[in-house]
Amino acid sequence: MATPGAYLFPISERVAFLSRVHIGTTISLLALCLIPFFARIYIRLCSIADWALLAREQFVQPQYIPFDRALEAVILAYFAIPMWCLSMTLIKTSVVLTLLRLPLKRAWKVVLYSLLAVQLTYWLANTIYIFSKCRPHHAAWDFTVATRHCPSEETDVVVSSIGSAINIGTDLALSVAPMFILWNLRRPVRERILICSLTGMGLFATVASIIKAVVIAEWTRTDDRWATAITIATWTITEQFVSVLAACSPSLKTPIEKLLSKFGIALVEHNPNISFVHMPSRLREGELRRQAREWMGDDDTQVNVVVSNSTDQTHGKRDIESLGEKSASSSTSAPTSGTVTSNG
């Protein structure tokens, strides 16, 4: 332990304990997130992307740290803010793009694109504010600058609170929206419960965001800034990793189904080439289209026989009806020829 001096900053027992909690939480959540993350890459739900999630174990004890090390911590914390915002934006963008692969109604597409626009706008505005709020720029983390011009801490808290409200709102919307979208699929109840449970993990990220916002609101009134900063960092990393877990967890649906099938529990029988998160480009072609309608739970496919010379307009009408697009089906309600049905 260093000897206390004029340029040494104290690290209390509480700060050391919170640091150990932060590191333990980070490593545990990272290990947990790697499972669905690599499962997602393995089954190729989205385009291939490279992510680097690194953690280094540290052991923090109460001590005094030199000024340059304290300054380094402040700099890292400062640049962690835009990196956090960018990571959350990328995670939510991934969720939105995954949902847009589903055959959705126009209203749902508008909602998803709106959420994406809000998140991208927030990321851009937050980044501009972070990197332009102080003059000179390095005064944002170097409090020894004599002629620094920065917003007050109260202003920072207000800006952070607005950002937290936007972040919590998008977290909640992207956690609940998949439940409504996927629950309306005409699938067995057990399968829908499994899917909604996996996508609903994002609610835990929402809880972490709320707790973090409460801690940030206490920033100007706290006596121990180090302890508050570590607490904020812990909830931030929890929010990030839980969001990654929620975004990737639907990839575990197939492994879970296979695991349950070994115990004689079958959720559903379907074409393994068609997934609720992946609609192949040949969805509207011939036999694969019929299999997709059957997987989506179109009861008519069990009693109706469509002959091979059915028109594309008839196929389009049946696809729209099987996906619940009642409003759009009226546009294809014109009589067509070449379709013979037999009602059992």
pLDDT tens digit string along 64-88? 667 777 778 788 888 888 888 888 8
326: Cβ–Cβ under 8 A, 6 or more apart, which residues? none
Q: What is the pLDDT of residues 182-194, one digit of tens each?
A: 776 666 777 777 7
Greatest mean pLDDT range, 140-144, 238-242, 258-262, 294-298: 238-242
Given a cut of 60, is residue 142 above it in pLDDT?
A: yes
Given a cut of 50, is residue 330 above it in pLDDT?
A: no
Residue where the block lists tokens 């900063």:
229
Rg, C-alpha atoms of the chain: 26
Choice among 8-17, 101-110, 217-226, 243-252 with the minimum mean pLDDT: 8-17
Q: What is the mean pLDDT of residues 139-162?
A: 82
| pLDDT at 290 (0 to 100) | 59
What is the chain's mean pLDDT, rounded?
70
Name the CA dihedral angle for 100, 52, 169, 113, rounded to a multiple of 10 degrees: -30
Sign of CA dihedral 17, 19, 22, 28: negative
Given a cut of 50, is residue 223 above it in pLDDT?
A: yes
Answer whether 163's CB lies under 8 Å from 122's CB.
yes
Given a cut of 60, is residue 138 above it in pLDDT?
A: yes
| 30-61 per-residue burial string, b: 16 or more CB within 10 A, e: under 16 | beebeebbebbbebebbeeeeeeeeeeeeebe
Answer whether 37's CB lies under 8 Å from 244's CB.
yes
Q: What is the pLDDT of residues 276-290, one digit of tens each?
A: 444 444 444 555 555
Classify residue 286 as left (phi > 0), alpha (psi -120 to 50) or beta: left
Q: What is the pLDDT of residues 309-329, one digit of tens each?
A: 444 454 444 444 444 444 444
**Nearest partner of 273 among 19, 61, 44, judged by Cα:** 44
Residue where the block lists tokens 């005409």:
186
Q: What is the percentage of the chain residues whose pLDDT exceeds 90? A: 4
Pairwise CA distance, residues 196 & 187, whole Å:
12
Helix (H, G, I), strand (E, B) or coil at 149: strand
pTM for this entry: 0.58
Q: What is the pLDDT of residues 165-180, one digit of tens each?
A: 898 898 888 888 877 8
Q: What is the percentage of the chain residues whose pLDDT exceeds 70? A: 62
Answer whether 77's CB lies under 8 Å from 15's CB.
no
Higher pLDDT, residue 272 or 226: 226
Answer whether 130's CB lies under 8 Å from 84's CB.
no
